[in-house]
Amino acid sequence: TQAAAGAPDATATHCPYCSLQCGMQLVASGPRGRSLEVQPWPEFPVNEGGLCRKGWTSTGLRGHRERLTTPLVRDRATGELRAAEWDEALDLVADRLRALQAAHGADAVGVFGGGGLTNEKAYLLGKLARVALGTSQIDYNGRWCMSSAASAGNQAFGIDRGLPFPLADVEQADVVVLVGSNLAETMPPAARHLDRVRERGGQVVCIDPRRTPTAERSDVVLQPVPGTDLALALGVLHLLDARVAVDEEYVAARTSGWEDVRATAAGWWPERVERTTGIGTAELHALVDLLAGAERAMVLTARGAEQHSQGTATVLAWIDVALALGMPGKPGAGYGCLTGQGNGQGGREHGQKSDQLPGYRMIDDPAAREHVAAVWGVDPATLPGKGRSAYELLDALGQPDGPRSLLVFGSNIVVSAPRATHVSERLAALDLLVVCDMVMSETAALADVVLPVTQWAEETGTMTNLEGRVILRRQAASAPAGVRSDLQVIAGLAERLGSTATFPTDPEEVFAELARASAGGKADYAGIDYARITAEHGVFWPCPDHEHPGTQRMFADRFAHADGRARFVDVDHVGTAEPTDADFPVHLTTGRVLAQYQSGAQTRRVKDLPDTGPFVELHPMLAGRVGARDGEPVCVRTRRGTMTAPARVVGTIRPDTVFVPFHWVGANRLTNDALDPSSRMPEFKVCAAAVSA
Ligand code: SF4
C-alpha cells in the first residue's frame, strides 16, 4: 500500500463513486484493524480534503452481510441459485459460451461493461471480447453517461476529453454557464469552484428545469422546458451575432463553419426562443449581456443537456456558443463536460466501446487494428468489427440475430437501462446471463451465474477522472475469502476459452500493456506509469513518453483536427422524440440525489446513507390539478410503464414537469429508449407522462 504524506499508516486512494475521484485516505481501525476508516487527503488537489456524504461513508459496504463471497450457479431443476466452486462456475460459463458460439457464431456472446471499472479492467474486458471470444458485441453503460458530449467533442475539437483543462480553472472564469448540471448535489466538493468565481465578482448561470441546490449557488437561474437547451443556445448565438459580439478574429483564425451556424441562428429570434423554451426575451438578453461582456466565459454541460435524442446536437450548439465567444483554448474559459461515472472518461478510452480499440482508436481503421493486434500478438484480420451500442445490444438479446448470452461487469442494467421492463424481458430471453458483482444487484438476481468480485478498497487500479487526470486507487485491505478480482475472472475465462494471448491479473502489468496499446492514439498513456501517478498526484493524458509532462490544458495553439481548427457544427432544434399531448400532458425528467450513486446497488446498502426510496417531485399547481398531496402516493404513467411513489410537492420545479430519481427500480421503466443518431444515447431526460393521485 502507498502511504499518504503525514499519515504513515494510511493508504492514499480515491473514492469509489463519481468522476471527481476525490482523494481520501483509508486507515485500518476497529478490532484487529479489520475495519477501514475514511480520512481526508488534503494534498490531493481535486478535492483538497473535501468529500461528500457518499465518500465519507464509502467503506460501509465492506463486510456488509449482503456481500457475495462465493460463486452462484442457477440449478436447472429448482431454478434457484446455489453455491458453487470457482472452477465449476468458470468451467460452466466457458463451456456454454463455446457451445453457443459453435451453434450461432462468435456474436452469440455479448459483453456489457461499466463506467465504474478501472482502466485496467476496461482494457482487459475489451481484449477478452475481441481476442478470446472474437465477438463484436461489446459496449458499456458509459454510453448512457456522456457519449453525446464525447461525440460532440470529437466533431468540434477533433478529440474528446471531458474537461480539456483542470477543474480548478473554473475559478478563473468571469461567467460560468452550467447547462443541465447539478454539481452541488452530485459532486459537492466541486461546488467550491463556483463559490470562488462569485467571490471574485464573477457570475454563475444555472440552466435546469428544476431549481436545484446548484441553482441556489448561482446568480442567474433559467428553467427551460425539458429538451429545449439546444434552442436556447441558438437564441444566444442569434443575439451574439445581432449585437456584433462574435469574436470574428478568433473565428477567422481558429475555426471553420461559422457562416452555416450563423444562418441557422438567424432563425432563432428571442420571441421564437421564448415560445420553444419558456425562457423570456428579457432573460435571454440578460444572459447574452453577461456572456458578451465576459473576458473569460466557460460553458459546462452535463447529463441534463446530453441525455437526449438530440444530445450531441445540443452539446454542439453550446460549443458553438463558446467558439463564437472565442473561448476554447483561452485560460480559464472554454467548453467542458462534467462526466458522471467514476471512470466515465477512462472507461471509454481503452476498448470497451463497440466502435473503439484502446487509445480511442476507431475499430474500422486498418492502422489502428494493426497497432493493437501487434500489442495483443494476434492477426489484425481476426479482430471483429464494430458492434451494437449499449441499448441496441440489450434490445437485440435473444432475438434471432442477436446475442444468446451476456457477460455483465460493473453494471446494474435492470435499474439503469431505459425502458427497463423491456430490457428485463430481453435478459430473460437469453440462454446464459453471467453477472460479476459484489452484491446481489437486481441484475445479478436474474443471472444464471453470479461471480463475486472485489470492491475498490480491496484492489489496485487506475481511473481517469473528469479532467483527463489518470489517478491510482490503491489496495487498502484484503478481499474476503472466496472473492476474486474482475481481472482474475477475465483471465480465468480467457484461459478456459483456449486463448493464447496474455491476460495478466496484476493491475500494474495490465496498465503497462494498456499504455503500449494506447501509444500514438488520441488518449495516449505511453508515458504514464504507477510511479509517476503517485509522485505527481495524477498525470493528464495525452502523455506520449516518460519525459512528457502530461497535458493539463488543451487547445491553446491548435485543436486536434488535422488543420488545427475547431469546427462550428450547424445543428437545429428538432424537439424531443416524444412531445407531450392530451394523454400524456407533462414532461418527465429523471436525475440523482446526493445520498445515492447510479443504480444504487452500492449506496442503497450503506446504512449511513439515507435510503428514501423513489419519489415524484411536482409543482403545487400540478399537484392541485391532479389532486396529489405531499407525502402521499402519486402515479406516473408513460407509454412504457407506470410507477407509484410518494409525492414531493415543491415550488422549485416547472409546473409542466415531474422529476423522479433513477437510483431505484421504477424510474427507468418509464423512460424513453429513443436514441441520439450520433452517440446512441437514450433520451433519459425527457418523455411525455401523465400524473394522477
Ligand atoms: Fe466521491 Fe464524487 Fe462524493 Fe467525491 S464528490 S466523495 S468522488 S461521490
DSSP letter for each residue of 452-514:
EB--GGGS-EEEE-TTSEEEEE---SPPPTT-B-HHHHHHHHHHHTT--S----SHHHHHHHH
Q: Which domain holds residue 21?
A: 3-61
Q: Taking residues 465-472, report their average pLDDT.
A: 96
Question: Which is the closest atom of ligand 1 to the Cα of 14?
Answer: 7
Residue 1 has a pLDDT of 37
- The answer to the question of residue 422 being in a domain is yes
The Cα–Cα gap between 100 and 94 comes to 10
Within this chain, do residues 121 and 163 fall inside the same structural domain, yes or no?
Answer: no
**Chosen domain end from 309, 338, 367:** 338
Within this chain, do residues 33 and 158 fall inside the same structural domain, yes or no?
Answer: no
**Chosen domain end from 39, 61, 83:** 61
55 lines ligand 1 (CB under 6 A): yes
The Cα–Cα gap between 319 and 156 comes to 8
The alpha carbon of 527 and the centre of ligand 1 are apart by a number of angstroms equal to 27
Q: 303-342: per-residue pLDDT in tens?
A: 999 999 999 999 999 999 999 999 999 999 999 999 988 8
Question: Which is the closest atom of ligand 1 to the Cα of 51?
Answer: 6
pTM as predicted: 0.95
For residue 502, the domain's CATH number is 3.40.50.740
- The answer to the question of residue 678 being in a domain is yes
ipTM: 0.99
For 111-158, the DSSP string reads EEE-TTS-HHHHHHHHHIIIIII--S-EEEGGGGTTHHHHHHHHHHHS
The alpha carbon of 186 and the centre of ligand 1 are apart by a number of angstroms equal to 8
Mention every residue, 6+ apart, whose C-beta is less than 8 A from residue 391.
143, 144, 417, 418, 673, 675, 680, 682
Q: 154-201: per-residue pLDDT in tens?
A: 999 999 999 999 999 999 999 999 999 999 999 999 999 999 999 999
Could you give the percent of the chain with pLDDT greater than 70?
99
The Cα–Cα gap between 480 and 308 comes to 41
Q: Which of 443, 438, 422 is nearest to 599 (CA)?
A: 443
Q: Whose CA is nearest to atom 5 of ligand 1?
A: 187
The Cα–Cα gap between 227 and 314 comes to 9
More confident residue, 151 or 5: 151
The alpha carbon of 113 and the centre of ligand 1 are apart by a number of angstroms equal to 21
- The answer to the question of residue 577 being in a domain is no
Q: Is the pLDDT of residue 3 over 50?
A: no
17 lines ligand 1 (CB under 6 A): yes
Largest CA distance in the chain: 75
Question: Which is the closest atom of ligand 1 to the Cα of 186?
Answer: 5
The alpha carbon of 20 and the centre of ligand 1 are apart by a number of angstroms equal to 6
The rounded mean pLDDT for the chain is 95
Within this chain, do residues 90 and 40 fall inside the same structural domain, yes or no?
Answer: no
Residue 601 has a pLDDT of 87
Q: What are the backbone dihedrals phi and psi of residue 485, each rounded to the nearest 5 degrees, phi first?
A: -80, 160
Q: Is the pLDDT of residue 2 over 70?
A: no
189 lines ligand 1 (CB under 6 A): yes
22 lines ligand 1 (CB under 6 A): yes
- The answer to the question of residue 572 being in a domain is no
Which residue from 13, 14, 17 has its CB within 8 A of the most atoms of ligand 1, so it is best to mutate? 17
Within this chain, do residues 308 and 162 fall inside the same structural domain, yes or no?
Answer: yes
Residue 692 has a pLDDT of 97
18 lines ligand 1 (CB under 6 A): yes
Residue 64 has a pLDDT of 86
The alpha carbon of 141 and the centre of ligand 1 are apart by a number of angstroms equal to 19
Q: Whose CA is nearest to atom 3 of ligand 1?
A: 52
**pLDDT tier, 65 (very low <50, low <70, confident <90, very high otherwise):** confident
Within this chain, do residues 243 and 128 fall inside the same structural domain, yes or no?
Answer: no
Answer whether the bond into residue 542 is a cis peptide, omega within 30°. Answer: yes
**pLDDT tier, 35 (very low <50, low <70, confident <90, very high otherwise):** confident
**pLDDT tier, 448 (very low <50, low <70, confident <90, very high otherwise):** very high
DSSP letter at 109?
E
Q: Extract the C-alpha cell encoding 444.
A: 445479478
For residue 17, the domain's CATH number is 2.20.25.90
Within this chain, do residues 206 and 242 fall inside the same structural domain, yes or no?
Answer: yes
Residue 7 has a pLDDT of 54
Q: Is the pLDDT of residue 354 over 90?
A: yes
**pLDDT tier, 63 (very low <50, low <70, confident <90, very high otherwise):** confident
Torsion angle (degrees, nearest 10) of CA 154, 158, 160, 161: -150
- The answer to the question of residue 514 being in a domain is yes
Within this chain, do residues 476 and 334 fall inside the same structural domain, yes or no?
Answer: no
The Cα–Cα gap between 370 and 376 comes to 10
Q: Whose CA is nearest to atom 6 of ligand 1?
A: 55
Q: Which of 41, 39, 75 is nearest to 59 (CA)?
A: 39
Q: Is the pLDDT of residue 536 over 70?
A: yes
Q: 198-250: per-residue pLDDT in tens?
A: 999 999 999 999 999 999 999 999 999 999 999 999 999 999 999 999 999 99
Q: Is the pLDDT of residue 588 over 50?
A: yes
Q: Taking residues 681-689, report their average pLDDT.
A: 96
Q: Which of 606, 585, 596 is nearest to 665 (CA)?
A: 596
Instruction: Please provide the size of the chain in residues.
Output: 693
Within this chain, do residues 517 and 643 fall inside the same structural domain, yes or no?
Answer: no
Q: 376-415: per-residue pLDDT in tens?
A: 999 999 999 999 999 999 999 999 999 999 999 999 999 9
Q: Is the pLDDT of residue 258 over 90?
A: yes
CB of 459 closer than 8 Å to CB of 478: no
Residue 500 has a pLDDT of 93
Question: Which is the closest atom of ligand 1 to the Cα of 24?
Answer: 6
Residue 31 has a pLDDT of 73
Which residue from 20, 44, 53, 341 has its CB within 8 A of the most atoms of ligand 1, so it is best to mutate? 20
The Cα–Cα gap between 604 and 595 comes to 9
For residue 637, the domain's CATH number is 2.40.40.20
Q: Is the pLDDT of residue 467 over 90?
A: yes
Q: Whose CA is nearest to atom 2 of ligand 1?
A: 18
The alpha carbon of 16 and the centre of ligand 1 are apart by a number of angstroms equal to 8
The alpha carbon of 50 and the centre of ligand 1 are apart by a number of angstroms equal to 9
The alpha carbon of 60 and the centre of ligand 1 are apart by a number of angstroms equal to 14
Tell how far CA 502 is from the center of its chain.
29
DSSP letter at 403?
-
- The answer to the question of residue 471 being in a domain is yes
Q: 115-129: per-residue pLDDT in tens?
A: 999 999 999 999 999
Q: Is the pLDDT of residue 8 over 70?
A: no
Q: Whose CA is nearest to atom 4 of ligand 1?
A: 22
52 lines ligand 1 (CB under 6 A): yes
The alpha carbon of 577 and the centre of ligand 1 are apart by a number of angstroms equal to 33
21 lines ligand 1 (CB under 6 A): yes
Question: Which is the closest atom of ligand 1 to the Cα of 190?
Answer: 5
For residue 273, the domain's CATH number is 3.40.228.10
187 lines ligand 1 (CB under 6 A): yes
Q: Is the pLDDT of residue 4 over 60?
A: no
The alpha carbon of 417 and the centre of ligand 1 are apart by a number of angstroms equal to 23
Within this chain, do residues 161 and 248 fall inside the same structural domain, yes or no?
Answer: yes
The alpha carbon of 567 and the centre of ligand 1 are apart by a number of angstroms equal to 34
Within this chain, do residues 377 and 229 fall inside the same structural domain, yes or no?
Answer: no
Within this chain, do residues 433 and 299 fall inside the same structural domain, yes or no?
Answer: no
Question: Which is the closest atom of ligand 1 to the Cα of 342?
Answer: 7
The count of structural domains within the chain is 4
Tell how far CA 635 is from the center of its chain.
29
Within this chain, do residues 510 and 657 fall inside the same structural domain, yes or no?
Answer: no
The alpha carbon of 637 and the centre of ligand 1 are apart by a number of angstroms equal to 33
**Residue 152 burial by CB count (10 A; 0-12/13-18/19+): exposed, middle or buried?**
buried
The alpha carbon of 479 and the centre of ligand 1 are apart by a number of angstroms equal to 23
Question: Which is the closest atom of ligand 1 to the Cα of 20?
Answer: 7
Q: Which of 659, 663, 613 is nearest to 636 (CA)?
A: 659
**Chosen domain end from 338, 372, 403:** 338
- The answer to the question of residue 682 being in a domain is yes
3-state secondary structure 28-44: EECHHHCEEEEEECCCC
- The answer to the question of residue 526 being in a domain is yes
Query: Residue 605 in 3-state DSSP?
Result: helix
The alpha carbon of 609 and the centre of ligand 1 are apart by a number of angstroms equal to 13
